[in-house]
Amino acid sequence: MLFPPPQQTGPSPRVVITGVGVITALGQGWKANAEGFRAGRVAIGPVTLFDVSRQRVKVAAQAELPEALPPTRLRPRDHRRMERAAKVLLVAAHEAWQQSGWEPAEQLPVVLGTTSGGMSLGEAYYQQAIQRPHSHGKQPTRVLHYQAQRQGQNLAEAFGFSGPVIIIANACASGANAVGHAWELLRRGHAERVLTGGYDALSKLVFAGFDSLQALSPTLCRPFDAHRDGLALGEGAAVLTLETLDYARRRGATVLGEMVGYGAATDAHHLTQPHPDGDAALAAMTEACTNAKLAPDQIDYVNAHGTGTPLNDSAEAAAINKWAGDNARALPVSSTKASIGHLLGGAGAVEAVVCLMALRGQWLPPTATLQTPEPLCNFPIVHQPTEAKLEYALSNSFGFGGANATLILRRWK
């Protein structure tokens, strides 16, 4: 049962990562993405998925989907009904599942973050409902597959397991909240393993929305640059198999890294703008460190939310300055959104995976487009490929509605 929770004796279990799947504009899979992030490759280009001729901005970081979806228990008919967001999620989940060596089971929770689920199907539904109001062809399928829970259920069908599907829609912090919630489920004894991640695909509505807010950069997405003028949208997914260390050891799994901290807080300042002092970001980072029993000076790298909008980056800089204090000057920070854009509900999960890649490879992913560092930043902004000794990495994710989330990962030796 979901409540009351199982009685726990002793300390909370350690939580490790045993499988990772990722797809972004840098490519499909760990290798392509690790190479791209390490080198600071920028994968932002013209939007071809839908018409942007009337938009102010015409670029984004589109992911290239494989010609065929990976083989799972899903039928060809299921594949045909899936839209872009469901496909990127399945691709990432398949990689993670394969790597973990997991077997299907009853009551294996899925926790996912997304902002818009199968939005392109919602768009198609609306267009047909307006343009051909008496035609119902394909509409029921669109209704079902538009909904985010369906994409979570797809994973259960694909890999043959069952369990609660939990969808967290906390705007651009969704992915981080999902991974953090999965971690908490394991720490609190609700499960021994959880499939988790975040995903979103580009869609006309969301692209137009950010464009209408003039949040998209008309030049080049340059997080933490003094002359930054907006973000670039991206798409993709990351899925992680989290399990307790005991469970991983019992089955002889290969451990990729450890998740040690999660914090979440709410910024009540404004629906779309952070408090200029970054209070909620500070609270989320502080809580994550408290959970991890770490001091800020033990964090070796921060993967910032770093969207490239003037307001986000200055608020986040203020929060990191305050949180790190005197240690800020030696704390490398970067935003990988310069490479793959902002993946919205996918961002937090993908950036957690970037941290894992950095910890495993002992390198720092650069903010490749940085030209003139924002003077508010007391910390060095990594802007070129760099080797480093890393033990702990912290990832920030913030979203509309004031959702703030922080994850901390540890290198596995």
Partner 1 sequence: MRKAIFICGVGAVSPAGWGVRALRESLARGQPLPLKELPRPGWSEPLRVRAVPPPSARPGFLSHARLRRTSPIAQQSVAAALEALGEDAARVADGSSRLGVVLCVMSGCVNYSRRFYDEVLKDPVTASPLVFPETVFNAPASHLAALLGTTAINYTLVGDPGAFLQGLALAADWLLSERVEACVVIGAEEMDWLTSDAYRLFNRRAVLSDGAGALYLKRRANQVPAVELREVTQAHLFSNRQTRAEAARRARDELGPGGPDRLLCDGLQGLPRLDRAEELAWRDWLGARLSPKAVLGEGLMAAAAWQCVAAIDALREGHYAAANVSIVGCNQQAIGAQFATNSCASS
- Please identify which of the residues 94, 145, 275, 342 carries the catalytic annotation: 342
Number of neighbouring beta carbons within 10 Å of residue 151:
28
With contact defined as beta carbons under 8 Å apart, do 6 and 190 qualify?
Answer: yes
Torsion of CA 334, 338, 341, 345, to 10 degrees: 0
Amino acid at 160: G
Q: Reply yes or no on whether 172 is catalytic.
A: yes
The set of residues, in sequence order, having a beta carbon less than 8 Å from that of 134 and lying 6+ positions away, is none
Comparing CB distances to partner 1, the nearer of 20 and 173 is 173
Give the shortest CB-222-to-partner 1 separation in angstroms.
22
Give the shortest CB-158-to-partner 1 separation in angstroms.
11
The set of residues, in sequence order, having a beta carbon less than 8 Å from that of 282 and lying 6+ positions away, is 319, 322, 323
Q: In this structure, are strands 110-113 and 165-168 parallel, antiparallel, or unpaired?
A: parallel
Q: How far apart (Å, rounded) are the C-alpha atoms in residues 68 and 76?
A: 10
Q: Reply yes or no on whether 342 is catalytic.
A: yes
Burial status of residue 387 (CB atoms within 10 A of its CB: 0-12, 13-18, 19 or more): exposed
Give the shortest CB-150-to-partner 1 separation in angstroms.
7
Comparing CB distances to partner 1, the nearer of 214 and 362 is 214
Q: Reply yes or no on whether 355 is catalytic.
A: no
What is the SS3 string spanning 359-406? HHHCEECCCCCCCCECCCCCCCECCCCEECCCCEEEEEEEEHHHEEEE
With contact defined as beta carbons under 8 Å apart, do 197 and 96 qualify?
Answer: yes
Amino acid at 336: T
Torsion of CA 277, 279, 281, 284, to 10 degrees: 160
Comparing CB distances to partner 1, the nearer of 210 and 363 is 210
Comparing CB distances to partner 1, the nearer of 98 and 139 is 139
- Please identify which of the residues 145, 181, 275, 305 carries the catalytic annotation: 305
Burial status of residue 392 (CB atoms within 10 A of its CB: 0-12, 13-18, 19 or more): buried
Comparing CB distances to partner 1, the nearer of 179 and 328 is 179
Give the shortest CB-405-to-partner 1 separation in angstroms.
9
Amino acid at 323: W
Give the shortest CB-105-to-partner 1 separation in angstroms.
12
Give the shortest CB-335-to-partner 1 separation in angstroms.
22
Comparing CB distances to partner 1, the nearer of 129 and 255 is 129
Tokens 């901005």, located at residue:
57
- Please identify which of the residues 172, 221, 355, 377 carries the catalytic annotation: 172
Give me 180's structure tokens: 């953090």
List active site positions.
172, 305, 342
